[in-house]
Amino acid sequence: MRAAWLLPFLFAAPAAAQLAVPAARARAAVAAFAEARDARQTAALADYGLKPETVFVNCSGKPCPEERRREVLATLAGLLGRMPKLVAPARPPKLVWEDLPAGSPADGNSDGDGAITLYSPAGKDMSAILAHELAHTLEFIDRKTVADFMALRHDTPAYRDALAAFWVEVWRSRGPEEDDSRPLSPRARQLLGALRLPRRHGEDLHAAKSGREYWAVSVELVYIEWQAGRTEALEAFMNAEEEAFLRARM
């Protein structure tokens, strides 16, 4: 009986073993969370035909550390989840994400095969630029939708003639090299307003340079308004038919 007080100590697990159980459970929980997170990210990429191995993440022109790569994959998965149904058929063969310092200009590019490059400054929301570049890939995949939109205004003879007259005034005021540092003439500004050209700021002529840019900038503008929940008409940048066409597909 005198040794009864020893029994709890004889049969108790060592302190280290007691601590190891919750630690192992915590590690298992972290691993399960990471696995579920990776599965969600992979699914978001797969919706657009991408895989983790077809997404390339660069820092200063070189592959980023693995930790940063995981962060970008998570960010990209979130961006893809916010894309409009219009660009859902897009299937870029690869996507390159170039990390840039804060304050650098954000930009995007898509090549002839539909591969996308995003130039992403730190802290910049790249969703509108991604929507723009995915819209470009539809030119290879869903040509009918693109053609139907362009037929509403851009491809009409009247608009083509107005666009040509506008470029004559641009070259008069900025020269054939289109020097952006030189302001547009009052006449060119007047024609720009009459064109109702899709643009992201006052003298943004990106959409005037080609039909494919007219299409992609239009998608980008309506996406920005849709994402923000704004319903005001974009009458300064497109006609009502064009806006209704795109809003119905957001």
Query: How far apart (Å, rounded) are the C-alpha atoms in residues 169 and 194?
Result: 13
pLDDT, tens digit, 9 for 90 and up, residues 35-55:
455 567 788 899 999 999 999
Q: Can you give the pLDDT at residue 180?
A: 78
Q: What's the rounded mean pLDDT across residues 5-31?
A: 57
Q: What is the DSSP string of 137-175?
A: HHHHH-HHHHHHHHHHTTTSHHHHHHHHHHHHHHHHHHT
Contacts 24+ apart (CB under 8 A), 193-197: 193/236, 194/162, 195/159, 195/162, 195/163, 195/166, 196/235, 196/236, 196/237, 196/238, 196/239, 197/237
68 plus 109 within the same structural domain: yes
Q: With contact defined as beta carbons under 8 Å apart, do 149 and 218 qualify? A: yes
* Helix or strand holding residue 73 (H, E): helix 66-81
Q: What is the pLDDT of residues 112-141, one digit of tens each?
A: 888 999 999 999 999 999 999 999 999 989
Quote the number of domains for the chain: 2
Who has greater pLDDT, 203 or 8?
203
Q: Looking at the structure, tell me whether residues 242 and 180 fall in a common domain.
A: yes
Q: Is the pLDDT of residue 208 over 60?
A: yes
Last residue of a domain, one of 97, 126, 155: 126
Query: What is residue 80's predicted lDDT score, i.e. its pLDDT?
Result: 97
The answer on 165 and 80 residing in a single domain is no
Quick one: 78 and 42 in the same domain? Answer: yes
The residue whose two tokens read 């895989």 is 51
What is d(CA 223, CA 133) in angstroms, rounded to the nearest whole number? 12
Q: Of 126, 152, 187, which one is at a domain's C-terminal end?
A: 126
Report, as an integer, the average pLDDT of 213-222.
98
Give the residue from 100, 126, 152 where a domain finishes. 126
Residues 121 and 188 in one domain: no
In a domain, 2, yes or no: no
Q: Does pLDDT of 157 surpass 70?
A: yes
Judgement on whether residues 44 and 91 belong to the same structural domain of the protein: yes
Please check whether residue 94 is in contact with residue 115, taking contact to mean a CB–CB distance below 8 angstroms: yes
* Structural domain boundaries enclosing 91: 29-126
Question: Rounded to the nearest 5°, which phi and psi values hold at 71?
Answer: -65, -45
- C-alpha separations of 83 from 79, 122, 197 in Å: 7, 21, 23
Picking from 242, 246, 166, the residue whose alpha carbon sits closest to that of residue 209 is 166
Same domain, yes or no, for 91 and 184? no
The answer to whether residues 65 and 106 belong to one domain is yes
Asked if 145 contacts 245 with a C-beta cutoff of 8 angstroms, the reply is: no
